[in-house]
Structure 1
Amino acid sequence: MMLYSFGKWLCGTYFKGTYKPEIVGAENMPKTGGVLLCTNHIHNYDPPLVGVASPRDVHFMAKAELFSVPVLKHILPKINAFPVKRGMSDKTALKTGMNLLKEGKVVGLFPEGTRSKTGEIGEGLAGAGFFALKSDAHIVPCAIVGEYQKGKKLKVVFGKPIDFTHFREQKASAKEATELIMKHIAQLKKEHE
């Protein structure tokens, strides 16, 4: 926990000094209860940026390969990251994410699964929809808008939680649920460009 707080302060200092990001809608983050925070993905800096911008601590899924890097494998768990094997259904990662949501924590996901090379929002993977449908968590869309360049505008926009009641009652597919989440992220991006 201390490492997370220190990391948040350190990254916050760096981002403020370098990119001066604007944080919009932080009040939309529920103060209590499980939250699935779904964000577009444009840069390697996205996880720490969203972590700094979020009023609550965020547990991020990180690609499993990072946990085999000597220094990172000790640091990542201490800054609330947990591994996910990409390109397959990773039952351990799904279980970890579900348990965190049940415990009332914030789980951060990049539904696209990889960075966008163009900055445009791509198609989301079914994992985000799975968590949204199988948990009682609040689903908060988040958009990173702009560029990681000095003098360019950079924003982190938190949207209002998406009402998933109807989707849960209708037993919608994970793909449909993810599509809804991606639409909300795209709308936030469009409104704040």
Structure 2
Amino acid sequence: MENKHPYSELGYKIFFKIKPFLKKILRIKVVGVENIPLEGGCIIAANHRSHFDPPVINIVSPRPVIFLAKKELFEVPVLGWFIKKAGTIPVRRDSRDTAVIKKSISLLKEGFVIGIFPEGSRARPGEFRKPQPGVGYLIEKAKVPVIPVLIEGTDKVLPVNSKFPKLFKYNIDVIVGKPIKFEGISSYEHIAEKVMHEIRKLKGERHG
């Protein structure tokens, strides 16, 4: 039977079974997970500092999150196989990939969750990069709730150029904000800036 989902259903069933174990060994603490809708299409927009960010978001999310990732990652042994099974959408960074936008919007209308990193690439530890205008374009066209997420600590667990994670040494904090509204915002650039502003604001939230 053809898989109706863009990801491996069996793979995600197994993944969801072991999520409590992964959350414990990775020392993940999450606040505000109730802000992620339990049904309907939505976009999770997070800051980006490590290749560990996508799995961490999927560990804390009550629903599978389909990420957009640079095409080059699909060529990496083992990692490429895993992200394909996870339904990850390849993106060509050297051009405006309209096919990716169309596919993302189609999945959102079908009720799936799309994960994006507005910065486009990983930022330095403790820093934020300028968001990409294409993020605003996707958000404006999709017209679904956008959930801002702040991730801290993944850049210590799996720093840039590291092949293996440093387990049991650092904590990973995830703060999920309330859905963002975009009434009165006139340009894609302003939408992207608004998203990053809301992500940065989460840094001041206290953990419970």
Which residue pairs with 2:197 in the alignment? 183
Deviation at 1:5, TM superposition (A): 2.9
CA apart distance, 1:49: 0.3
- Structure 1 partner of 2:116: 109
* Structure 1, gaps ≥5 residues long: none
**Matched residue, 1:49:** 56
Q: TM-score, normalised by structure 1?
A: 0.87
Once the two structures are overlaid, the 10-residue window that deviates more, 46-55 or 115-124, is: 115-124
CA RMSD of aligned residues (A): 2.0
Against the structure 1 CA distance between its residues 21 and 94, is the aligned structure 2 distance closer, same or farther, given a 3 Å change threshold?
A: same
1:162 corresponds, among 158, 162, 180, to 180
Offset at residue 165 of structure 1 (A): 3.1
Secondary structure, counterpart of 2:205 in structure 1: helix
Residue 37 (structure 1) aligns with: 44
Q: State the shift of 1:81 in Å.
A: 0.7
Distance change (3 Å), C-alpha of 1:80 and 1:9: farther
Please list every run of 5 or more consecutive structure 2 residues that lacks an aligned counterpart in the other structure: 1-8, 158-165
The answer for the alignment partner of 2:125 in structure 1 is: 118
Within-5 A mapping of 1:23-172: 23-69=30-76, 71-146=78-153, 147-148=156-157, 150-167=168-185, 172=186
Residue 162 of structure 1 aligns to which amino acid in structure 2?
I
Structure that is richer in helix per residue: 1
1:27 Cα deviation from its structure 2 partner: 0.4
The letter of the residue matching 1:92 is: A
Q: Following the alignment from structure 2 to structure 1, what is the Cα–Cα distance between the partners of residues 33 and 119? A: 22
- The percentage of counterpart residues that share the same residue type is 36
- Aligned residue among 11, 27, 30 for 1:3: 11
CA spacing shift, 1:12–1:159, aligned 2, 3 Å = same
Contact kept in structure 1, 2:67 and 2:114, CA below 8 Å: yes
TM-score by length of 2: 0.82
- Does 2:21 match 1:13? yes
